[in-house]
Amino acid sequence: MHGPTAGYILHDMKRFLGFVKKEFLHISRDYRTLIILFGIPAAQILLFGYVVSTDIKNAGVAFLDQSKDEITRRLTDKICSSGFFTKTGDLASQADIDRIFKKGRTKAVVIFENNFGRNLISRGKGEISIIADGSEPNVATLVTNYMTAIISDFNRDMAGPSAATALIVRPEVRMFYNPGLKSHYMFVPGVITLIMILICALMTSVTITREKEFGTMEVLLVSPLKPVQIILGKVMPYFLLSFIDVIVILLLSWFVFDLPVKGSLALLLGESMLYILMSLSLGILISTVSSTMQQAIFISLVGMMLPTILLSGFIFPIENMAEIYGWISSILPPRYFIVIIKNIMIKGTGLLYVWKETLILTGFTVLFIALSVRNFKIRLQ
C-alpha cells in the first residue's frame, strides 16, 4: 500500500468541505429550528433576569389579631407596607388558620396575643407568633426571617435610642465580586452551562440518530467519505451555532444586566469551545447507543435535564448537599464548567485558577470520543 498522495488528500478535503456545506445548508433552511436555537438562550437569560427570583416579594400573610389595639395596627401596617408582604386576610379564630393555608395563597399567619399592646407597655413583654407554611420550606424560612427582622426593627424603634448605643463590636461587611447582591451573577453562568450541554447533546445525538433510523446512514457510509468525516461534518455546523449562542448570551448579560466578562475574554471563549466540544461528543456518544430519535431525545432531555439543573451547582450549591452528592456530581461535566465560567467571568481569574477543571473537561471529551469510536465500530459489523 502506498501512502495517500497530496492530490488525493486535497480531493478528500474538498469532498469533506462539500459535505460540511451540505449540512450547513440543511440546518439553515430550517428557520424554525434556528429561531428556537437562538430563542432558547435569550428567553432563558431574560427569564432569570426579570421574572424568576428567589427573593420574597408580595408574599401573602394573614393576621389573627386578638388584641386589636394601636400597637398591633401600627405593626400590621409596617409589615404590609414593607413590600415583602401582602395582606390576604384578617382571621377571626385559630380554626381559620388551617382554612386559609389550605387555599394556598397565604404563606404565613401572624398572631398577636390577647391584650398585646397593654402587656407590652405595662409588663414590658408582648407575644407574637408567626406560623409559616412549611410545605415550601425556602419560602417559609425567608418569610419568617424577614418578618422577625421587621418586628425587631419595630421593637427597637419603640425602645428608643438607648439600646442601640450598646454596640461595642462594629462589624462591617463587603460583598465581594457581587456588591449589588444580584442573582444574575449566579444565573448567567448557570444558564450558559445548562443550555449549552442540553442543546449540543440534543442536536448532535438527534441528527446522527436520524440518519440511522431512516437508513440514510448506510447511504453516507458507502460514500467515499470516511465515518469520522461524516460525524465531523455533522457536528461542525452545530459547533459554530453553539459558539454563536455563547456570544449572544455573553452580549445579553453584558448589555442587559451589566455583567461583563471580568477576566480574559479569549480564555472564556476558549473554555466555552472546549465545553461545546465536550457536549457535542457526549451527543455523539448518545447517538451511538440510541437506535431511534425518540430514544436519543429521551436520554438527552428527560435523562439529563433534571440532574444538570439540580446537581451542577446551578441553583443549589453542591457544598450544602450531603457528602455523597459531591461524588455523584463529580461525574457531571457541567459542574466543572460552572466553576470555570464563574472564575473567569465574575472573579476575573486566569487559567492558573481553573487548570484543574479544564483538564477534567478535556478528559471527559477524550473519554466520550473514545467510547463513541468503539461503539461506532461495533455497530457497523
- For residues 276 and 243, the answer to whether their CB atoms sit within 8 Å is yes
49, 60, 263, 333: which one binds other proteins (CB under 8 A): 60
Under the criterion CB under 8 A, does residue 322 sit at the interface with other proteins? yes
| Comparison of 9 and 43: residue with beta carbon closer to other proteins | 43
- Count, residues near other proteins per rule CB under 8 A: 121
Q: Strand 106-112 relative to strand 85-90: parallel, antiparallel, unpaired?
A: unpaired
Residue 326 found at the interface with other proteins (CB under 8 A): no
Residue 226 to residues 13, 25, 218, 229, Cα–Cα distance (Å): 11, 21, 12, 5
Residue in this structure with the C-alpha cell 431574560, named with its chain if needed: 46
Cell of 171: 462589624
Q: Which residue has the cell 398572631?
A: 111
Q: Is 234 in the site for other proteins (CB under 8 A)?
A: no
Q: Does 375 bind other proteins (CB under 8 A)?
A: no
Task: Select 59 or 276, whichever has its Cβ closest to other proteins.
Answer: 59
319 lines the binding site for other proteins (CB under 8 A):
yes
| Contact yes or no for 45/191 (Cβ under 8 A) | yes
Can residue 49 be called a binding residue for other proteins (CB under 8 A)?
Answer: no
Pick the binder of other proteins from 22, 70, 77, 177 (CB under 8 A).
177
All 3 cell numbers of residue 345? 467571568
Q: Restricting to residues 125-164, which ones interact with other proteins according to CB under 8 A?
A: 125-141, 144-145, 147-148, 151-152, 154-155, 158-160, 162-163
Q: Read off the C-alpha cell for 368.
A: 466520550
Report if residue 295 touches other proteins, rule: CB under 8 A: yes
Ramachandran sector of residue 114 (left: φ over 0; alpha: ψ -120 to 50; beta: rest)? beta
Among 181, 222, 266, 378, binds other proteins (CB under 8 A): 181
Task: Write the binding mask 84 to 123 for other proteins: x where contact by CB under 8 A, - elsewhere.
Answer: --x----------xx--xxxx--x------------xx--
CB of 208 to other proteins, least distance (A): 12
Rule CB under 8 A: is residue 340 a binding residue for other proteins? no
Copy the grid coordinates of residue 363.
Answer: 478528559
> Which C-beta is closer to other proteins: that of 137 or that of 363?
137
* CA dist 59 → 88, 130, 142, 153, 171 (Å): 9, 14, 10, 19, 31
Give the nearest distance from C-beta 324 to other proteins in angstroms.
9
Q: How far is the CB of 151 from other proteins (least distance, A)?
A: 6
CB of 346 to other proteins, least distance (A): 6
Q: For 182, how many CA atoms within 13 A lie in the half-sphere containing its CB? A: 17
Residue from the set 7, 124, 161, 224 that interacts with other proteins by CB under 8 A: 124
Candidates 69, 349, 375, 376; binder of other proteins (CB under 8 A) is: 349
Our CB check for other proteins shows the closer of 40 and 232 to be 40
- Tell me how far apart the terminal alpha carbons of the chain are, to the nearest angstrom: 24
* SS3 state of residue 375: helix
CA distance 139 to 290: 41
Q: Indicate which single residue of 3, 7, 224, 317 sits in contact with other proteins (rule: CB under 8 A).
A: 317
Minimum Å gap between C-beta 180 and other proteins is 8
* Closest C-alpha among 41, 60, 104 to residue 249: 41
Question: Phi, psi at residue 314, to the nearest 5°?
Answer: -70, -55
Shortest distance, position 42 Cβ to other proteins, whole Å: 11
216 binds other proteins (CB under 8 A): no
